[in-house]
Amino acid sequence: MSAWNATLYDTKHAYVFGYGREVVDTLDPKPGERILDLGCGTGHLTHEIASRGAKVVGMDNSAEMIAQARAKYPALDFRIADARVMQFDEPFDAVFSNAALHWIHEAGDVVRSIAAALEPGGRFVAEFGGEGNVAIIQAGIRKALDTLGIDSFGIFPIWYFPGIAEYSQLLDANGLEVLWAAMIPRDVQLDDPETGLRDWIRMFAGNVLQVIPEQNVKEFLAHAETYCRVQLYRDGAWHADYRRIRVIARKRG
C-alpha cells in the first residue's frame, strides 16, 4: 500500500472517509484523550478526531498520503510508520482505524502492535474489509486475468478480509477483549458512471495491474467490467460490493 495516488484517493474515493465519520462516532473521542489514527491516509478523519478535542497522532506507511495530510492539516501530528512494528513513547487511550487494516496480511503483528500501543483499559475501534468483501470485483479480476492467460500465482488473496470469529479470536489472544463486532454489507455507488469500476481497480488493486503487461491493461479492465457488469452496474452507475467488519475492543488490565 505504499504506491498510493493520494489525489485520486481524495477526489474519486471520498466515500471511504465519508463512511469513516460513522466510525469516529463509534470511537466517540473525548477532549484530551490521546488517540492513534492507524492508516490515516490523507488525514481527514485524523482532523475529525482532533476537532472533537482529542490529541491525535495520524500514522500511515505511505509517504505520499502523509505528505498530503501534512499539507492539508499542518497543525496535526502525522507520522510515517509500519503498523506491524510501530512503537510509541507514550501509550494511547484509544487506537482508531478506518479502511486500512485489510492492506496488511500480517494481522497478528498488527494486533500485537495495537495492544502494545494502548493503555490498559484503552479501546480499539476499527472498520475494514470483512470476509466476502468485494467478492464480485475479486471474481471479475480473477476471470479477466484468466481470460488474458496471465498467471495470477501469488496475487491472491489481495487483501486481508477476516470473519468476525477469526478476528475476534486474534484480538482476544492478544489481550484485547471484544466488546462488540459486526459485519456490515454496504453497496457503494462509485463516483464516475463510466469509469467507476476501472478507477476503483486502478486505485485499490494496483498490485494486480503490476503483473499485467502495459499494453494489456486496458483489455484487462474491459474484461473485468464485462464480468462484473450484470451484478455491479445498476441505474446508470457502478457499485462496489463492500462488506465491512467493525469492532470495538478493550485492552485487558
27 binds ligand BEZ (CB under 6 A): no
Among 39, 58, 129, 175, binds ligand BEZ (CB under 6 A): 129
| C-beta of residue 248 within 8 angstroms of C-beta of residue 123 | yes
The span of 88-96, 129-137, 212-220, 223-231 binding ligand BEZ (CB under 6 A) equals 129-137
Pick the binder of ligand BEZ from 42, 68, 113, 133 (CB under 6 A).
Answer: 133
**Closest approach of Cβ 250 to ligand BEZ, in Å?**
24
CB of 190 to ligand BEZ, least distance (A): 12
Nearest-approach distance from CB 220 to ligand BEZ, in angstroms: 17
How many of the chain's residues bind ligand BEZ (CB under 6 A)?
Answer: 9
| Cα distance from N-terminal residue to C-terminal residue, the chain | 34
* Grid cell at residue 77: 501530528
Site string for ligand BEZ, 180-219 (x = CB under 6 A): ------------------------x---------------
Nearest CA to 45 out of 105, 94, 117, 104 is that of 94
DSSP 3-state assignment of 38?
A: strand
Q: At 177, which amino acid appears?
A: E
Question: Nearer Cβ to ligand BEZ, position 131 or 172?
Answer: 131
Q: Taking the complex as a whole, how short is the minimal distance between the CB of residue 75 and ligand BEZ, in angstroms?
A: 27
Q: Do residues 195 and 11 touch, judged by C-beta distance below 8 A?
A: no
Residue 102 dihedral angles phi and psi, to the nearest 5°: -70, -10
Stretch that binds ligand BEZ, among 39-47, 62-70, 128-136, 245-253 (CB under 6 A): 128-136
Q: Which residues contact 173 (CB under 8 A, 6 or more apart)?
A: none
Q: Measured between alpha carbons, how far is 151 from 210 in angstroms, rounded to an integer? A: 12
C-alpha 49/C-alpha 41 separation (Å) is: 14
Residues at the site binding ligand BEZ, with contacts judged by CB under 6 A? 16, 99, 102, 129, 133-134, 159, 204, 242
